[in-house]
Structure 1
């Protein structure tokens, strides 16, 4: 045996020995296999933020990402089991209407990591939960809304009066009252997560009664505002590029901190049942108020200063936006 061959064998043996001492997650170069299950189209506001964060991770080469959209509640459990059987390392979705079924699947696949939107608590050992705790920027946009309203009447159109929607509406209303304690709200729910025509009609009715700023919790509201020449406030995503003369500001939800933390845990083999809700707050970069953009020079400087001061207070902890999950009412 030549010295060259001997050196190669020794080097290979040492490398194998060293590798044997490394955790599996370090040795494996395989990407994390991630599946997401959505009950609505991926362009819907809430779901689009999860989809965006997962696509970003896929673009970085960290994951292999597949998803199913428009999955009915009745079919949700089957799709979850199918992905779990395929060996996905992380399954993401929304369990709000299928809590019992989703938690049952998680119990049946304890080695699979589950991260689902839920109003409930984590379930050991592998069912983690998250939620859109973006009430902080919602409060800031409420301040903007009241400051921009001339009639003192604001219309609010939501999907369903569930905690995830209620808390944002209440925060928005509290922010508006800080600027104008006498502001009036008209609140309506359309009974759907994705029905732009219905949301548009509900908005028209409010505008016809005097609302000159609309809170667009659902798609369709900003269309009505644009057609009637009033202003709108966005929710979850920034739609100002589509409505440059209508959408003044938006409360943005950034899912990257939540998704990236979960992926880090899965990769390290340390994923466990936890509440990821805090990663949706401004402190962790999980939410923010969108730039004023086309309205930069249209919003009064005094109002902007008040909003910036409140934002600073939220970030330094001297002001806490109240979380109120009860159904908001018109006044």
Structure 2
């Protein structure tokens, strides 16, 4: 897309990179596997900004290559294998469903470093995982939704029922409910990371049920486009990237995934010979989860409250999962003042009290 012009002589994609001659030994090749197109305006777009940041940081010392719209599963394993064969020194696989393919290929290429986004398997010493505490950002969006809803119905479009997504749903609802005890949450599962038609259908279905504030854990701008048809009656939030084209409404704020520092740091480690296996889970304090501009559509008092919540999470003074919190069935999950452990969050498979409906298998 338009950002490709920044790459100059760098490989414009794997189609070219795979056929290119081997790079000089002092050039590090960093490669990226994307589940959607780099022009999706959301998840993949933001990962690609990280790839471009790597190129900008290191210049001719680094070559980057990528493959867009790679389905999770066998196709991913073929692409990752081809990347390893093409001379990639480090490969970032940027979707949860690439977890097993990444580890399968890593076993065959012990000299290549692999970084898998949002997964948990590190079956080989050359595999690391990295994730972001998206639930921190969902807390802020939930507060705004709870304060601004006029119908007391807010919505959340889920991609797949994995812990990362369930964390976001729970955090969004808990903070909307704190802001507005009368709020109800409608969850619609799209069963896709990127499918604008399905995402639009999910948003439309919720709007037809009276939902007037929509958050999404899918990758396109389609939910915001659907909200925009309502002439200001429905608000929404940028997901993964700012989605600024929809400012000042329906996009009233956004959760931005800033992968740039992580990608630069990990490529630098390969260049220095200091790369080691790790599991990274960063958030607002590290600048990996960022709330985009809160627009003038949001009332001043609500904006001030949201900014105070951002500051509290960033400073480490507040954790979005702090008790008392019950599970959906009314049983106690966290007692007064108790903070959720990372291990529980990483395996979260339940709704909190107040959310109706079941989590699909």
TM-score (norm 1): 0.84
Report what 1:70 is aligned to: 69
Residue 134 of structure 1, CA deviation? 1.9
C-alpha distance in 1, partners of 2:80/2:298?
47
Equivalent in 225, 231, 235 of residue 231 of structure 1: 235
Q: 1:311 to 1:71 in 2, by over 3 A?
A: closer
Equivalent in 23, 30, 35 of residue 31 of structure 2: 35
C-alpha distance in 1, partners of 2:356/2:27?
49
Report what 1:317 is aligned to: 316
Structure 1 stretch displaced more, 228-237 or 186-195: 228-237
Q: 1:245 to 1:96 in 2, by over 3 A?
A: closer
Equivalent in 273, 292, 302 of residue 269 of structure 1: 273
C-alpha distance in 2, partners of 1:147/1:207?
18
C-alpha distance in 2, partners of 1:270/1:190?
41
Residue 243 of structure 1, CA deviation? 4.5
Residue 139 of structure 1, CA deviation? 0.7
Q: Is the CA contact 1:124–1:272 (under 8 Å) kept in the aligned structure 2?
A: no
Could you give the per-residue CA deviations for residues 127-163 of structure 1, whole angstroms, max 9, x where no partner exists?
0011232221221111111111111110211221222
Q: 1:132 to 1:46 in 2, by over 3 A?
A: farther
Residue 29 of structure 1, CA deviation? 8.4
Residue 319 of structure 1, CA deviation? 0.6
Extract unaligned runs of 5+ from structure 1: 1-27
C-alpha distance in 1, partners of 2:209/2:313?
34
What does 1:111-190 correspond to in 2, within 5 Å?
Answer: 111-190=111-190
Q: Is the CA contact 2:160–2:191 (under 8 Å) kept in the aligned structure 1?
A: yes
Equivalent in 46, 67, 89 of residue 49 of structure 1: 46
What does 1:60-99 correspond to in 2, within 5 Å?
Answer: 60=57, 61=59, 62-72=61-71, 73-94=73-94, 96-99=96-99
Q: Is the CA contact 2:93–2:102 (under 8 Å) kept in the aligned structure 1?
A: no
C-alpha distance in 2, partners of 1:228/1:30?
55
C-alpha distance in 1, partners of 2:83/2:202?
38
C-alpha distance in 1, partners of 2:213/2:100?
39
Report what 2:207 is aligned to: 207
Q: 1:206 to 1:100 in 2, by over 3 A?
A: closer
Q: Is the CA contact 2:152–2:183 (under 8 Å) kept in the aligned structure 1?
A: yes
Q: 1:330 to 1:204 in 2, by over 3 A?
A: farther
Q: 1:291 to 1:123 in 2, by over 3 A?
A: same
Residue 32 of structure 1, CA deviation? 1.6
Report what 1:193 is aligned to: 193
Q: Describe the SS at the equivalent of 1:284.
A: coil
Report what 2:3 is aligned to: none
Report what 2:56 is aligned to: 59
Could you give the per-residue CA deviations for residues 25-69 of structure 1, whole angstroms, max 9, x where no partner exists?
xxx983320111123222342222211111122133152111111
Q: Is the CA contact 1:115–1:127 (under 8 Å) kept in the aligned structure 2?
A: yes
Q: Is the CA contact 2:137–2:291 (under 8 Å) kept in the aligned structure 1?
A: yes
C-alpha distance in 1, partners of 2:270/2:235?
43
Q: 1:126 to 1:64 in 2, by over 3 A?
A: same
C-alpha distance in 1, partners of 2:249/2:78?
44
Extract unaligned runs of 5+ from structure 2: 1-23, 322-339
Q: Is the CA contact 2:32–2:94 (under 8 Å) kept in the aligned structure 1?
A: no
| Bigger Cα Rg | 1
Q: Is the CA contact 2:115–2:129 (under 8 Å) kept in the aligned structure 1?
A: yes
C-alpha distance in 1, partners of 2:30/2:132?
21
Q: Describe the SS at the equivalent of 1:277.
A: strand
TM-score (norm 2): 0.77
Q: Describe the SS at the equivalent of 2:97.
A: coil
Report what 1:286 is aligned to: 288
